[in-house]
């Protein structure tokens, strides 16, 4: 299990400045309310002497649109696009989903037209890219969907160079090389299947095993 996310006092204060409640602050920091609460109750406001959690309570919900609640209706997507609502109060994945479902974006790569579904879950692997790199700017002329390949080529790469190196770095987990030995009975069986050749042809991709294969005797000098 990965270690839990550490929240500094500066993190909590930054979240408080951008939200209207503790629940909103937790959402802003991409963590659960209980996780946020654990830290916000430790840090104290130097002016008032009370904890950050207590100072950011908003029991009356003042200034919070009703649709922010899980039980309320969804916010008008047009208001989010036009920047009339604080984007920090909403989950990016849900905004992306609504942009497609409500017809604002076509569910395909804007560069190459890729729109194939992934076999594992039938989702189309697309990334929402922001042309000005500002993830708060959802204006329609600033956002576009890209496949992973085009994201790597033209926008923000979906993977880091460190991840690429890790995937490309080969590690031989088998350890010591195994000295295979093919006896006469196995040789006859392979010959009957057409998989045994007396001479090696390096250009033949179907040359699976041969007399010269290491493990069945040694090549004569």
Mean confidence (pLDDT) of the chain: 79
Six-digit token pair at 36?
């946020």
Q: Taking the C-alpha atoms of 7, 159, 110 and 98 in order, what is their torsion angle to the nearest 10 degrees?
A: -30
State how far the Cα of 148 lies from the Cα of 23, in Å rounded to an integer.
33
C-alpha angle with apex 128: 122 to 131, nearest 5 degrees? Answer: 155
Query: Is the pLDDT score of 180 beyond 80?
Result: no
Percent of the chain with pLDDT strictly greater than 70:
75
Mean pLDDT to the nearest integer, 69-94? 75
Residue 129: which residues within 8 A CB-CB, separation 6 or more? 143, 144, 145, 146, 151, 155, 156
| Mean pLDDT calculated for residue range 198-211 | 59
**Contact between residue 42 and residue 7 where contact means Cβ atoms under 8 Å apart:** no
pLDDT of 217 reads: 44
Predicted pLDDT at 221: 45
Q: Which pLDDT belongs to residue 216? A: 46
Decide if 57 contacts 40 (C-beta within 8 A). no
Q: Mean per-residue pLDDT for 167-188? A: 69
Q: Are 55 and 41 in contact (CB under 8 A)?
A: no
pLDDT confidence of residue 64: 58
pLDDT confidence of residue 220: 45
- pTM of this prediction? 0.47
What pLDDT sits at residue 203? Answer: 65
d(CA 80, CA 77) in angstroms, rounded, equals: 5
Q: How confident is the model at residue 139 (pLDDT cuts 50, 70, 90)?
A: very high
Neighbours of 85 (CB within 10 A): 19
In this structure, of 1-5, 112-116, 145-149, 159-163, the range with the lowest mean pLDDT score is 1-5
Mean pLDDT of 103-110: 92
pLDDT, tens digit, 9 for 90 and up, residues 50-80 = 999 999 988 766 655 554 444 445 678 888 8
Q: Cα(12)–Cα(38) distance, rounded to whole angstroms?
A: 11
Mean pLDDT of 143-164: 89
CA–CA gap between residue 147 and residue 197 (Å, rounded) = 46
Q: Helices 9-17 and 33-40: crossing angle, nearest 10°?
A: 120
């Amino acid at each position: 299990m990965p270690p839990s996310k550490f929240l500094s006092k500066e993190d909590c204060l930054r979240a408080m400045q951008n939200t209207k409640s503790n629940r909103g602050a937790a959402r802003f920091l991409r963590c659960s309310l209980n996780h946020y609460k654990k830290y916000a109750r430790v840090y104290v406001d130097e002016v008032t002497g009370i904890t950050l959690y207590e100072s950011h309570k908003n029991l009356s919900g003042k200034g919070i649109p009703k649709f922010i609640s899980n039980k309320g209706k969804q916010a008008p997507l047009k208001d989010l696009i036009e920047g009339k609502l604080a984007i920090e109060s909403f989950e990016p994945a849900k905004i992306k989903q609504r942009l497609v479902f409500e017809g604002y974006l076509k569910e395909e790569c804007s560069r190459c037209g890729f729109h194939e579904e992934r076999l594992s879950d039938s989702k189309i692997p697309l990334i929402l890219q922001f042309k000005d790199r500002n993830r708060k700017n959802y204006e329609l002329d600033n956002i576009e969907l890209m496949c992973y390949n085009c994201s790597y080529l033209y926008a923000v790469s979906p993977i880091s160079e460190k991840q690429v190196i890790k995937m490309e770095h080969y590690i031989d987990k088998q350890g010591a090389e195994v000295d295979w030995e093919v006896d006469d009975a196995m040789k006859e069986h392979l010959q009957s299947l057409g998989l045994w050749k007396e001479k090696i042809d390096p250009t033949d991709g179907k040359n699976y095993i041969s007399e010269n294969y290491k493990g069945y005797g040694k090549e004569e000098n």
